[in-house]
Amino acid sequence: MIRTLSYSRALIHLIIGVTCIVCIYPFLVVLGTSFQSQSDIILRGYSIIPKNFDFTAYKMILRSPDILLNSYMITIITSLAGACAGLWVITTYAYVISRKSYKYRTHLSFYAFFTMLFNGGIVPTYILMVNWLDLKNSILALILPYLINGWYVILMKGFLQSIPEALIESAKIDGAGELYIFVKIVLPISKPPLASIGLFLLLQYWNDWWLTLLYIDTDQLIKLQYLLIRVMKSMEFLNTPEALQFGLVKEGMEVPTLAARMAMCVLAAGPMLLVFPFFQRYFVKGLTVGSVKG
């Protein structure tokens, strides 16, 4: 019996190990290719360990470090502020519709679900943000559109419904108000779904470039992802005959467009890879609890 269990555990560890290698391998290829020259990539293909380390792609991307650092700052500010504000809005909404004593819980639940099926569209949203709210070229335009999501509300509601009603009633008997119960009792025991949804929001804000394209015209508020897209388009233009004709590049000059793509992936995804381990403790638990308690 013991030998059977050890064989089973070894098989499980083997499967998990192979899965981890399969998941990590593409990122290692991206990281290694970002240090290759354009000619090496064309001749030898993508590689984890470059034959000759070449930093040309990073030099071209980091040619204007002030702009890159400013984009990092804007992305960090909007990601942290959006994730924190979004967690508060989503959790308060979900807490209200999870309480059986609330009269309009069914209506508000349907409203959250309805937004998962239909939305206002690009044109009405743009008119609302620019003409009515006057948020053109404002940092709030990079935060407000993603503050609440119907799926996250339903996910959080599923967990909050699992909290015993007797716990809340006993707190009321002791004289606690609704805000005190929510902040001091509900939130501390809701760490798993908060971490899961917080990670989703953080990734959504960090990877966003669409809001910058729609609402931002000034270079001071450009987010990282949109800046990298602009850099990539500029490099692709340098490979065209027009760039040679206008004197933007010299004859025979090598523009590392392939390596630049990989370098931009490393610059964009690197910070999130460092953040994820802090959420991993609660991530799986938050998803499973919220999905079971619908």
Q: Name which of 97, 93, 90, 86 is nearest 161 in CA terms.
A: 97
Per-residue pLDDT, 252: 55
Q: Which two tokens stand for residue 52?
A: 């000759």
Q: The domain 63-292 is classified under which CATH number: 3.40.1190.20, 1.20.140.10, 1.10.3720.10, 1.10.150.110?
A: 1.10.3720.10
Per-residue pLDDT, 293: 44
Q: SS3 of 79, please?
A: helix
CA 72 to chain centre: 14
Taken in order 22, 24, 30, 35, the sign of the CA dihedral is negative
- Whether residue 281 is predicted with pLDDT greater than 80 in this model: the reply is no
- What mean pLDDT is predicted for residues 225-233? 81
Q: Which long-range contacts (CB under 8 A, 24 or more apart) does 104-109 make?
A: 109/154, 109/157
More confidently predicted of 53 and 274: 53
Per-residue pLDDT, 294: 41
Structure confidence by residue, pLDDT tens digits, 32-71: 888 887 777 777 778 788 878 888 778 777 776 787 888 8
Per-residue pLDDT, 141: 93
Residue that is written with structure tokens 């108000």 in the block: 177
In terms of phi and psi (left: phi > 0; alpha: psi -120 to 50; beta: otherwise), the region of 50 is beta
- Whether residue 5 is predicted with pLDDT greater than 50 in this model: the reply is yes
Q: Name which of 270, 291, 176 is nearest 228 in CA terms.
A: 270
Residue that is written with structure tokens 């370098």 in the block: 263
Per-residue pLDDT, 225: 87
Query: Can you tell me the distance from the alpha carbon of 99 to that of 97, in angstroms, rounded to the nearest whole number?
Result: 5
Instruction: For the chain, give the mean pLDDT.
Output: 81
Per-residue pLDDT, 250: 57
Count of C-beta atoms within a 10 Å radius of residue 104: 10
Measured in degrees and rounded to the nearest 5, phi and psi for residue 46 equal -70, 145
Taken in order 93, 97, 100, 105, the sign of the CA dihedral is positive
More confidently predicted of 27 and 285: 27
- What mean pLDDT is predicted for residues 218-246? 72
Helix, strand, coil abundance in the chain, percent, nearest 5 = 75, 0, 25
Per-residue pLDDT, 199: 86
Q: Which two tokens stand for residue 144?
A: 């407000």
Structure confidence by residue, pLDDT tens digits, 61-97: 777 678 788 888 999 999 999 999 999 999 999 999 9
pTM beyond 0.95, yes or no: no
Query: Can you tell me the distance from the alpha carbon of 69 to that of 51, in angstroms, rounded to the nearest whole number?
Result: 30
Task: Name every residue whose Cβ is closer than 8 Å to that of residue 259 and which is 6 or more positions away in sequence.
Answer: 33, 34, 35, 36, 37, 38, 41, 54, 56, 57
Q: Which two tokens stand for residue 234?
A: 């500029």
Percent of the chain with pLDDT over 90: 17
Measured in degrees and rounded to the nearest 5, phi and psi for residue 199 equal -65, -40
Q: Which two tokens stand for residue 242?
A: 């027009």
The answer to whether 54 and 36 are in contact (CB under 8 A) is yes
Q: SS3 of 255, please?
A: coil
Per-residue pLDDT, 238: 60
Structure confidence by residue, pLDDT tens digits, 159-180: 888 888 888 888 888 888 888 8
The answer to whether 221 and 74 are in contact (CB under 8 A) is yes
Q: Name which of 168, 8, 31 is nearest 95 in CA terms.
A: 168
- Whether residue 202 is predicted with pLDDT greater than 70 in this model: the reply is yes
Per-residue pLDDT, 88: 94
Q: How confident is the model at residue 212 (pLDDT cuts 50, 70, 90)?
A: very high
- What mean pLDDT is predicted for residues 211-232? 86
- Whether residue 277 is predicted with pLDDT greater than 80 in this model: the reply is no
Per-residue pLDDT, 256: 67
